[in-house]
Amino acid sequence: MTDNVLDDVIEPGLRAQALSLTEIPVIDVGALFTDELAARQATAQQIGTACREIGFFYVKNHGISEQHIAATFAAARQFFALPLARKQAIAIERSPCHRGYFALGGENLDPLRQQGAGDLKEGIKIGRDLPPDHPRVRAGTPLHGPNQWPSDLPGWQETMQDYYTACQQLGLRLMRAFALALELPEAYFDAYLREPMATLGPLHYPPQRGAITEAQIGAGAHTDFGCLTLLAQDASGGLQVRNVAGEWLEAPPIPGTLVVNIGDMLARWTNDQFRSTVHRVINRSGAERYSLPFFYDPEFDTPLACLETCTRPDNPSRYSPTTAGQYLLDRINETFAYQRAAEGDVRKISI
């Protein structure tokens, strides 16, 4: 969605060009749900090209109905319309495993530019809802445990859980396509996705008016932390993606599609064959903006070392090995206000 009304009060560096679909393609992924290997391979090659060239693409025929997405958006709007005290009852600060509500400014994705103001958005983190007797919870594995659910919203938990499950199923299909694109066995990543660290994070962005500067925007310029992100966005627009030339492109909502982008973890795993691309959000629509990002990441103890098909003698591994869980912990500790105490001390989630 292009909105030039506010061009006179927005910093020039925050403007973006209209999208060219030659840069962020729309890919029909229906073949990924068939038994035809050749069709899956052909689709995987299209996906691989997009991952290598820009790290963003739209998917259509992705298996999640418009009605399902609309119902999840309605539930998100219902939650964010609650009084602040009701939302704060499940504040993320109360969770031992990074689940629950965070207020405006609670996440700062671009701390160097936003100077402590944080993002102009609020959100809620929903993960795998694990009981106290789950082995990983008993072991004290970070980022594993129960969700915090809002009270007195009948059907809300079920709606979010159903959408979470649908996104997880699509995420697995996409990871299999990534494997094919990387010349790996199609099921290569399956072993790391039996208990994925997947998170649904509904977001609400209030409209941004007046002089808009990098001191605070809806979501500061950043790359995502994990493997892949699935994004449903409403009609407000506001998502911007930076291409390899350093130009900012609008990535508006396209009916019937979801946006997919590569995160830093998969870029690292592929030795930067797949791009983790900088993006940001500026809600200049004059209306409330809602989005449904879903972050799909492998199991906590997954070894994060360069894949065998992504290195050669003249292109050695660029990164030291780590684990998926530790990498996520390090990034969360950098960006969430509740993880940072006064005077720059950090209260880290740790292993």
Contact 159, 76 (CB under 8 A): no
CA–CA distance, 223 with 205 (Å, rounded to integer): 19
Contact at 8 Å (CB) between 225 and 197? no
Band of residue 111 on the pLDDT scale cut at 50, 70, 90: confident
Identify the residue with better confidence: 39 or 315: 39
Q: What is the DSSP string of 302-316?
A: -EE---GGG-BTTB-
Tokens for 234, please give them.
């409403």
Element (H, E) at 335: helix 324-335
Distance from C-alpha of 97 to C-alpha of 94, rounded to nearest angstrom: 9
- CA-CA distance, 153 to 150, in Å (whole number)? 7
Phi first, then psi, for residue 182 (nearest 5°) are -95, 10
pLDDT for 255-295, tens place per residue?
A: 999 999 999 999 999 999 999 999 999 999 999 999 999 99
Q: Quick check: 349 pLDDT over 90?
A: no
282 near 153, Cβ under 8 Å?
no
Q: Six-digit token pair at 219?
A: 């979501």
The alpha carbon of residue 47 and the mean position of all alpha carbons in its chain are separated, in whole angstroms, by 18
Give the Å distances, CA to CA, from 1 to 26, 59, 253, 314: 17, 18, 7, 43
Give the per-residue pLDDT at 115. 66
Average pLDDT, the chain: 90
- All structural domains of the chain, each given as residue ranges with its CATH number in brackets, are 7-344 (2.60.120.330)
pLDDT given at position 214:
81
Identify the three-state secondary structure at position 33.
Answer: helix
> What pTM did the predictor assign?
0.91
* pLDDT tens figures, 6-51: 454 666 565 655 545 558 999 999 999 999 999 999 999 999 999 9
Greater pLDDT, 238 or 333: 238
